[in-house]
Amino acid sequence: MQDSKKQEPRDFSRERFRGQEGFIYFNNQRGKGIYLHNDNRTGQGEGDDEKISITLKDLPSECKTIIFCVNIYQAKMRKQDFSKVNNAYVRVLNADKGFVEMCRYNLSEDGKNYTSLLFAQLERNSDSWSFKALGNLLQDDLNSLINKFR
């Protein structure tokens, strides 16, 4: 995500399995098979501001679904939505296929009045995984997102 208009922090959260410990975000950046490389709360810099790496074979066997979410940190308090963040986007890349882009959402253009996005899902099917783009815009904060998946 990039932000050259404002320097407002954003939270990224991901579910890897049940419970609070199953969410990867700024206060829990590492789990078995999954890692949030950084938490850029200013939007400064070139390219992707935050990155999550997932090694599917290293995920716990009880992990059946991974939901990828993005939300604006303290959006209500800051009176923000995605349309107020310049050049905000989120995307999924497949490293095994040369970092090919699997899906992308332009949050600045499509996110007016929204503060969160459920943007993709990986689901385990026996020994393989399937990918599904979601694109569900919401007005949720991080706690609301966590509660959706408890």
pLDDT of residue 42: 57
Residue 2 lies in a domain: no
**48-100: per-residue pLDDT in tens?**
667 888 899 998 888 888 888 888 888 889 899 999 888 888 888 888 889 89
Residue 13 has pLDDT above 60, yes or no: no
For 26, residues 6+ apart whose C-beta sits below 8 A from its C-beta are 11, 12, 36, 39, 41
Residue 53 lies in a domain: yes
pLDDT of residue 37: 81
> Which domain CATH number covers 93?
2.60.60.30
Query: How many residues make up the chain in this entry?
Result: 150
The whole domain housing 84 covers: 10-148
Residue 116 lies in a domain: yes
**Structural domains of the chain, count:** 1
pTM: 0.75
Read off the DSSP letter of residue 85. S
Residue 19 has pLDDT above 90, yes or no: no
